[in-house]
Amino acid sequence: MEGSAVSYERNLECLVRAIQELSLARDLDRIAEIVRSAARELVGADGATFVLRDGDRCFYKDEDAISPLWKGLRFPMETCISGWAMINREPAVIEDIYQDPRIPHDAYRPTFVKSLVMVPMRSMAPVGAIGTYWATPRMASVREVGLLQALADSTSVAMENVQLYNELEQRVIARTQDLVAANRLLYDEACERERVEQDIQRFSMTDELTGLHNRLGFLHHAAGELDASRQRDTPCLLLHLLVGSNDSGPGESLPLTAARMLRAQFRRGDLLARLGGGEFLVLTSGYGDPNAVLQRLRAGLGAFNRATEQSLTLRIGHAESSRAQDLEQLLFDADNALHRSGPGWG
């Protein structure tokens, strides 16, 4: 009796351990792995199977046995002892399989099985069954069947938990995907809004006719250029230009022709702007001698007129940043210089 009590206590420890492991399982494969080995250990069986109900068939998903049984096979519930246990919602305890009419002898003849116990997973609407098998005739005790049934009931709970866990995981994945899509939409909308704002700002600072900066654009960029030139200790030269024409015939408008001429005379990094009509501003740095700049511009104007058969005229006022406190003073000085200038070049 003492040995029997020790053995039962050991079996209870095995059952508790299996139940704990089942509570941590997150997929069906892990559940099957836990159950097949725990079932064998609980009753000292030579083999154990993990069977799932698949519609009107029994699917032998996994097994742990001394030789192969039916892993991966499906049988009609009406012709299978695992199906009988699920349909009748009670254990099947068989000492001699060849003396029991519920056993399909042809399916068992190639195996080692002589005795078995099959318990349903859950008594209400069973979802599967656990089978244990012996290679010699043996009648399982009521206590052993009770241990197996407790394992089977715990298995059904674990399967429900896995299903709930998977459903929750899918909801989390779906929610995450929704959030990613929403964030992407918000990001795209923010990028589009930023692009529109940049376009609006660019249009507000651009002369529509010539594509040069307008007054607002010039003031915006010139302030930064002056600050940078002071940090480099390189003065800027501001030219206030008034472009006219002695040609009254048809052709390209004066502002467009003037803008084309100025683009040809100055560097890409120089700041060009149209204030209106034929009035322009140019801010340049690293220019050397201001008079040399004016002479190059005069020569360039003559070459442009000859090459394009134009007759542009040009009046210039200029001021250097080294002699002005700020941009406002620089603009004022260049404007005064323009008004003091003599007849235009042409």
Per-residue pLDDT tens over the stretch 63-113: 999 998 999 999 999 999 999 999 999 999 999 999 999 999 999 999 999
Give the per-residue pLDDT at 4: 61
Answer yes or no: CATH 3.60.21.10 is held by domain 2-168: no
pTM score > 0.85 for this model? Answer: no
Instruction: Round the average pLDDT of the chain to a whole number and report it.
Output: 90
What pLDDT does residue 346 have? 56
Question: Within 10 A of 256 (CB to CB), how many other CB atoms are there?
Answer: 14
Q: Which residues pair with 316 in a beta bridge?
A: 241
Question: CATH 3.30.70.270 residue ranges in the chain?
Answer: 215-340
Q: Determine the length of the chain.
A: 346
Residue 300, token pair as written in the block: 């360039």
Instruction: Phi first, then psi: give them for residue 96, nearest 5 degrees.
Output: -135, 110
Give mean pLDDT, residues 263-286.
Answer: 92
For the segment 146-150, the average pLDDT, to the nearest whole number, is 95
User: Strand order in 74-76's β-sheet?
Assistant: 74-76, 57-65, 47-54, 128-134, 115-120, 92-94
Summarize the confidence of residues 278-293 as an average pLDDT.
89
81 Cβ contact partners less than 8 Å away, ≥ 6 residues apart = 92, 94, 102, 103, 116, 118, 131
pLDDT digits (tens, 9 = 90+) for 44-77: 999 999 999 999 999 999 999 999 899 999 999 9
pLDDT for 202: 82
Is a pLDDT exceeding 90 seen at residue 242?
yes
Do 291 and 226 contact (CB within 8 A), yes or no? no
Q: Indicate the class that CATH gives domain 215-340.
A: alpha beta
pLDDT band, very low/low/confident/very high, at 322 (cuts 50, 70, 90): confident
Query: 237: part of which helix (H) or strand (E)?
Result: strand 236-245
Mean pLDDT of 314-324: 90
Q: Where residue 234 falls among pLDDT bands split at 50, 70, 90?
A: confident
**Within the chain, which residue ranges are assigned CATH 3.30.450.40?**
2-168
Roughly what angle, to the nearest 10 degrees, separates helices 215-232 and 327-340? 110
What are the contacts of 214-219 at 24+ separation with CB within 8 A? Answer: 214/273, 214/274, 214/275, 215/273, 215/275, 217/273, 218/271, 218/273, 218/275, 218/281, 218/283, 219/327
Residue 2, pLDDT score? 45
Is 278 within 8 Å of 243 (Cβ atoms)? Answer: yes
